[in-house]
Amino acid sequence: MTTQTGQVFTKVALIGVGLIGSSIAHAMRRGSLAAHIAGHSGSADTRKRAGDLGFCHSMHEDPLDATRDADLVVLCTPVGAFGQIAQAIAPALKPGAILTDVGSVKMAVLRDVGPHVPSGVHFIPGHPIAGTEHSGPESGFAELFDGRWCILTPPPGVDAVALETLSAFWRGCGSRVEIMDAKHHDLVLAITSHVPHLIAYNIVGTASDLEQVTQNEVIKFSAGGFRDFTRIASSDPTMWRDVFLNNREAVLEVLGRFSEDLARLQRAIRWGEGDMLFELFTTTRAIRRGVIEAGQDTPAPNFGRDAKKPRTTP
């Protein structure tokens, strides 16, 4: 992995210090990317916990105080709060500063944040494709972005130097950087992240509502596949509510395709069309190989979750 290190910013403001915000702080410290990291959380409890962990140099109740004099401001709250936050911090954004975010949707961010950005401030939405099912300031770690992609969706006419500075920042955090149109981002993420989360939440919900099978049975016998879905379905509820409310069009489009395809599978099972099932199950294996070859997952069985490997008996 190529990472760039060395100070990029004098002051970085993290508006939100949960999983992603705290991970950015850890990654910035690892790469010496900022002289001062200022954090904001609206919750006194979160400020206290983040303060105790010490990944920020200063913690602020008022996002204006965190933002003041910052060269880089990163919105790291659930996207539903972005509009209000942008409005609140606008007076403190200094000319020449870069304003970015880590939200999982990008069209809505352009819509909600764009109108509040003062002229002279470089607004470049972004989305690091990385995370875990855990949330809160304790869950962050410096390696979260290593080898993962960060997508930037600059509006037309973006300042080229600001775009390169932000790209260098993300590379310094361990990411690879991709530039993409916001609308296309939202469609790509609908299929690679949003609809997968939705169907994981849904199957876990279905399982807990079945009358004939107890929750205890569902949990005991989850190693047959279900447990993988429970991990995804334990991601932060507020963040995910906001994702679905703010990427409606793309999610509904992909969901429509998913449901059509599922109906075809349902029919194949009903009519015993084994060849059709076998062909699909073979095709999907190739995609898995692609994911592993692209360095986006481990080849270890069961994700290596048991830290045990196949071996031969002497």
Footprint on residues 186-225 left by its own copies (CB under 8 A): 187-189, 191-210, 212-213, 215, 217-225
Q: How far is the CB of 121 from its own copies (least distance, A)?
A: 28
| 3-state secondary structure at position 99 | strand
Query: Quick one: tokens of 33?
Result: 């990317």
Q: Which is nearer to its own copies, 140 or 154 (CB)?
A: 140
The alpha-helical segments, DSSP class H, found in the chain are 19-31, 44-53, 63-67, 82-89, 107-113, 160-172, 182-189, 195-209, 215-220, 226-232, 237-246, 248-270, 274-293
Q: Please, is 192 exposed, middle or buried when counting C-beta atoms within 10 Å of its C-beta (0-12, 13-18, 19+)? A: exposed
Candidates 1-9, 65-73, 88-96, 181-189; binding stretch for its own copies (CB under 8 A): 181-189
Site string for its own copies, 259-288 (x = CB under 8 A): x-xx--xx--xx-x-x--xx-xxxxxx-xx
CB 124 within 8 A of CB 97: no
Sign, Cα dihedral of 15, 20, 25, 27: negative
57 makes contact with its own copies (CB under 8 A): no
Q: How far is the CB of 183 from its own copies (least distance, A)?
A: 10
Binding test (CB under 8 A) with its own copies, winner from 42, 149, 163, 168: 149
CB 64 within 8 A of CB 91: yes
178 makes contact with its own copies (CB under 8 A): yes
Q: Please, is 288 exposed, middle or buried when counting C-beta atoms within 10 Å of its C-beta (0-12, 13-18, 19+)? A: exposed
45 makes contact with its own copies (CB under 8 A): no
Candidates 2-10, 38-46, 64-72, 258-266; binding stretch for its own copies (CB under 8 A): 258-266
Q: How far is the CB of 60 from its own copies (least distance, A)?
A: 18
111 makes contact with its own copies (CB under 8 A): no
Percentages helix, strand, coil for the chain, rounded to the nearest 5? 55, 10, 35
Q: Please, is 262 exposed, middle or buried when counting C-beta atoms within 10 Å of its C-beta (0-12, 13-18, 19+)? A: exposed
179 makes contact with its own copies (CB under 8 A): no
2 makes contact with its own copies (CB under 8 A): no
The letter for the amino acid at 305 is R
289 makes contact with its own copies (CB under 8 A): yes
Q: Which residues ranging from 222 to 251 are in contact with its own copies (CB under 8 A)?
A: 222-235, 237-238, 240-242, 244-245, 248, 251
294 makes contact with its own copies (CB under 8 A): yes
157 makes contact with its own copies (CB under 8 A): no
Rg (CA), the chain: 21
The letter for the amino acid at 223 is A
Q: Which residues ranging from 112 to 131 are in contact with its own copies (CB under 8 A)?
A: 129-131
Q: Which is nearer to its own copies, 161 or 213 (CB)?
A: 213
CA distance 304 to 294: 18
Binding test (CB under 8 A) with its own copies, winner from 4, 29, 68, 83: 29
161 makes contact with its own copies (CB under 8 A): no
Candidates 5-13, 111-119, 145-153, 158-166; binding stretch for its own copies (CB under 8 A): 145-153
Binding test (CB under 8 A) with its own copies, winner from 46, 104, 153, 167: 104
